[in-house]
Every structure is written in C-alpha cells, then in structure tokens.
Structure 1
Amino acid sequence: MQIDWQGVMPAVTTKFTSDDKLDLEMFEVNILAQVEAGVSAIILGGTLGEASTLSHEEKKALIIETVRIVNGKIPVIINVAEQTTKRAIEAAKVAEECGAKALMMLPPMRYKANDYETVTYFKTVANSTKLPIMIYNNPVDYGIEVTLDMLGELIECENIQAIKESTRDISNVTRIKSRFGDRLKVLTGVDTLGLESILMGADGWVAGLVCAFPAETVAIYKLAKAGRIDEAISIYRWFLPLLELDINPQLVQNIKLAEVATGIGTENVRAPRLPLQGDERKRVLKIIKEGVSSRPVLPEYKLL
C-alpha cells in the first residue's frame, strides 16, 4: 500500500482491561470509529499508546489486530522508539512481518545522540527495511532536534518520506517546505497547532484528541484543505480547550478520559501511570464535559 502522508493520522491509545490486559474489544470500537470518520492511517505505539509499557508480544498483537480491523482500507503505521540501532532494526522487521505499511521513527531513546549519530541511526534503520518512514522531530520532549541540514542528509534514503513536525515552531513548516518541496511531506504533531500548521502548508496532522473526537478532527482538516477556512476555524475554536489536554505530561490520562466521555474508550492506564486524581481530575473532566455538551454540528466533510 502506498503511503500518501496526508490527512489525519491518529496516534491511538492502547486500551487495557481493569486487570491490566489488552482490551482488544474496546480497541476495535475505537479503531472502527476512526475509520468511519475518515482518518488516513492508524499510528500505533507512540506516547499515547503507552508503548514503553508494552511487551514485545503485546506490540505484535496490536499490529496484527489493527491490520485485521482496518482490512486494507487504510495503512497501519508503527512507531519505532528504541534504545539501540539493533533493536530498532528488529522492530522494523517485526512491523513489516505483522502487516504494518510504514514506520514513524524517533531518535535513539535515553542516549542523547549528536547530529552525526542521529543521522547514522536513522539511515541504518531505513536501509534495513523497505517500509516508508516518517521521522518524528520532537526536541521538546525527547531532547534531540532533527535540523534541516540533518534532513538534507536523511532524504538520501528514498524511503524516508515525511516528518512529524513537533518543535512547536510553526515557522518550521514553511522552512521544510521551502527547502525540500514535495520531497518531504510535513505532518504537524502538536494538536494546538493543528489548524495553523495545515494553513501554512502541512500535508497532514498526527493527532491526539482525535482518539476521542475523530469526526471533528477530520472535518477541520478537510474543510481547511478545501478552502472553507471560516468553517474550519469555527470548529477549531470549539476544540481548542480540549486540544490543550494533549500538551500536558498526563496527556494519556486526559485523552482516555475524553474517550470515555465519547463512548469509544476506557480510563484504564498501565502503571506507573495512574488515573487522574483530585483537583486536576475535576479540572480535566470540566473541560471535557463542556466540550461534549457543546459539540458542533458538522457539515458534510467526507467527500471534500
């Protein structure tokens, strides 16, 4: 399957039962809601997916199950976030064997690699697989920035095709597009810059609150790309208080609470994460309640 690297791509949460096993039944409910809303791909194993807490077998099971659920309608993308080059190559191999169609790759975990080491890491993994790759650039959370010069070296690998832009610098969309044109697709990775990035030319949106509000997220993207900017802005203004739940250390707990409110998820997280407590829980629930009670009526957006 060809990856177009455009549209809305949810970084989905992993669903757990109350006794800490994979909840594949609720997981399917959510994935089907994403497909119905018109997302372009499903991304597994990111921060929202609590990937660092998943076993090797659980990751395989999630890929296989997602491939079954989407049934060829959209591609499944697996995030690769490993501490060693060897483990990253192994993860890419397993992803391909289990039916994933692309990779999203972070720089090496824990070790703060320099520019040369980071480029070598990405290139080595890219050269080990035929799967197309989206580089995840998030120096705010992971401490390593993939610069324009580094990207210039990385695109020597034909299967490095896109970048998830999460520097929080909206001008980076323009910088990347100006330098690389269509050779490198740009997907925004920050929910609170979603519409702004699309209007500045981003090809897609790797989204978080889409996990709870798939239709609204896709509608914003489609309307913006169709030039119906005022309609997109109107929905986005409603959405912003919810989107701000994504730029928070407890984004997983926040978004899972939102999924509960919209009927397509559960609150269960895996330790060391714990459900929100006290005043913070009340604050988040208030935002979610207000958002759900005022959900906008969406225009027909799917065929835009």
Structure 2
Amino acid sequence: MEFTRKEAKAWCKEHLRDFYMCPPTPMTPELTLDEEGIRENIEAYIDMGVNGLVVGGFISECWNVKLSDWFRYHEIVADANKGRMDLWTIILDPSVHQALEKMAFVEKLGYSGAEVMNPAVQLRTDDEIYDFFKYMSDHSNLAICLYRTPVSGKVLSFDLMKRLADLETVVAVKQGSLNHAETLKLRRELRDDFIVSEPWERFFLDDLRHGGQVIYGELSYIIYGKKRHLMKEYMDLARAGKWEEAYQKWAELRPVGDLYDDVFLWEIVKTATYASALAMMKTWYEAIGLKAGPMLPPVRDVAPERKEWLRARLKELGVC
C-alpha cells in the first residue's frame, strides 16, 4: 500500500479523483467467471482513462457468487490491472469477521481500500454500526469508504457519520441516498479531509462546483460509450472555472443520462435492489462492445425484445 494508517485520509484526498467506476462482471454461458472477458474489459477501461475500479459488490454480482469465486475474481482483476488503475473492493457482509478475511486477502493483492455497506441484518443502532466499523478499522489497514444507502435497510444518520468520519482509516462516503442536498450538507458538516462522493452522474457537474472531486462507485463514464468524452470535457471545463461551457457539454449528455437513469437508477429506487436492474446494464455493456454475458440465476436475464429496444435506443443516441 502507498500510505500508512495515519496517511490514509490525506492520500485518498489527493488520489481519489475523477472516475472510479464499478463494472459488471463478465460471465460465460456456463455461468462461470469469464476470465478472458474480465481481462479484455480492464484493457478497455485503461484506454478510456478510468482512474480506479471498485469491484466485488452489487454491480459485480458478487453478492450472488460462491466465496471461492469472490476471491478468484479479485485475483483476476489485480493480475490483469498490474497496478495501472487504483483498485478498491466492496464489502457487503454483515459479519465483520468475514469482511476482514476478504479485506486481508485483497490488501495482499495491492488493493487500496474497501467500500463497505453497513450490515443489512442484525446491527441497526448507531452504536452497533459504529462498533462494527470501529472493529473493522482497528483490524485492517485498508482505507474504508462508507456506503450510505437505503439498500442496507438503514441510512447512516448525520450524527453517526460525524463519528465514523473521525475513525483513522475511514476516508470517504459514497452518498447513495440520491439526494444531492444531503451530499452538500455532509460536506459542510464533516471534516475537511473526508471525501463525500456523489454516485449519480446527473449531479456530478454541480457537485464539482461544490467541492466534489470524484464520481465513485457507479458506471456512467464507461457505459456512455461514444458520448463519454462529454463527461470528461465538462469535468475539465468545470475545473478550469468555465462553468457555462461545462454546462453546455453536460446538457448535450442528458439524453444518454436520462436513459441510464430510467433503465437503471430509477429501477433501483423502485425495488431497493440492484438485481434486476443490472440485467439491462449487461445488455448495454455488450451493445458498446464490452464483455458481459448472462445474469447469474436466480436473477432473470432481459427479455429479447427488451434487449433489442435498448440496443436500438443506444444507436439512436449515438452511444454505440
């Protein structure tokens, strides 16, 4: 690792910038990890200019794989990456002991940190959740990014966020409530060396104006295909203080962003899960030339007519 425990917040404040994407996992027709596809996709992400990968969570389907495949997946990603992008895992386990076993494994592979969702079962009070993260941070050297989401069953309170942000290796939060006002409030109230990230591309330009530095743990920059350059352009213009020009680029991207919202993000809001919504993202992935493959059962794949509709819409929008 490139930082000590005491340096974790400062290192992440400097390095967690731009596009930290959370990619789907290619699967073979036999429903096994598509190692060749994973490696091909990683080369594509590097060519795109992705800064970091956040793997092992819901979008990766890693809630639905065997434990042995979870470990193997992280090995493949690290080996294919060869240190070119910053790597983070995602931890969904309600057992801190299982979480720590996974974190120790990926630390040896060169991962910098872990996005961690608070336990979806059992631990519910602020004190219980604080103790979960305190124990975790005491027993792992990885940087920890919180995932503030209703999917966990309990959205972390503002008071609890203040306590958690003071833990030495807790460096950031993926603010997944889809409420940008809460993102701005957290950024005002939490310590200056703690990163509050906004995972909804629709808010990213405005977030850059209000202290944001990274769009973390989602996949817009990848899936926007031939239109992704607009996202890079509005980010660079915003950082140069050219806000009107940046907004024009952002507005050009909105038809694609609206489609992403409709077939993915609003489905997550409606169901409080990623499972079925992800099937459309795998169809989108293949439409832009990336490897994806089928959904793992028991999650259903997209109906053929729905796939054709999405492919046609992406061509119409100039994404592929």
More displaced 10-residue stretch of structure 1: 103-112 or 12-21? 103-112
Distance in 1 between residues matched to 2:316 and 2:200, nearest whole Å: 24
Distance in 2 between residues matched to 1:160 and 1:119, nearest whole Å: 11
Report the Cα offset of residue 187 of structure 1.
1.6
1:168 corresponds to 2:178:
yes
Distance in 2 between residues matched to 1:221 and 1:285, nearest whole Å: 29
Gaps of 5+ in 2: 3-10, 239-245, 269-275
Deviations along 1:74-131, one digit per CA (max 9) or x if unpaired, are: 1110001112121122121112123221110000133351111111111211111111
> Between Structure 1 and Structure 2, how many residues are aligned?
293
Distance in 1 between residues matched to 2:64 and 2:125, nearest whole Å: 27
More displaced 10-residue stretch of structure 1: 258-267 or 185-194? 185-194
Which residue of structure 2 lines up, in the alignment, with residue 40 of structure 1?
Answer: 51
Report the Cα offset of residue 196 of structure 1.
4.4
* Preserved CA contact (<8 Å) 2:120 2:153: no
Q: Aligned pair in 2 of structure 1 residues 217, 147: CA closer, same or farther (>3 Å)?
A: farther
Which residue of structure 1 lines up, in the alignment, with residue 309 of structure 2?
Answer: 286
Deviations along 1:134-186, one digit per CA (max 9) or x if unpaired, are: 101102x2211112211211122221111001111110121111112532112
Question: What RMSD in Å do the two structures reach over aligned CA positions?
Answer: 2.3
Aligned match for 1:265, one of 271, 287, 291: 291
Distance in 2 between residues matched to 1:215 and 1:87, nearest whole Å: 40
Which residue of structure 1 lines up, in the alignment, with residue 188 of structure 2?
Answer: 178
Letter matched to residue 277 of structure 2: L
* Preserved CA contact (<8 Å) 1:173 1:200: no
Q: Aligned pair in 2 of structure 1 residues 272, 198: CA closer, same or farther (>3 Å)?
A: farther
Distance in 2 between residues matched to 1:202 and 1:243, nearest whole Å: 21
Letter matched to residue 49 of structure 1: S
Distance in 2 between residues matched to 1:246 and 1:218, nearest whole Å: 21
Q: TM-score, normalised by structure 1?
A: 0.87
Residue aligned with 2:85, SS:
coil
Residue aligned with 2:54, SS:
strand
Letter matched to residue 6 of structure 1: R
Which residue of structure 2 lines up, in the alignment, with residue 295 of structure 1?
Answer: 318
Report the Cα offset of residue 19 of structure 1.
0.6
Deviations along 1:226-285, one digit per CA (max 9) or x if unpaired, are: 3222112212333321333222252210100001111102331111112122xxx53464
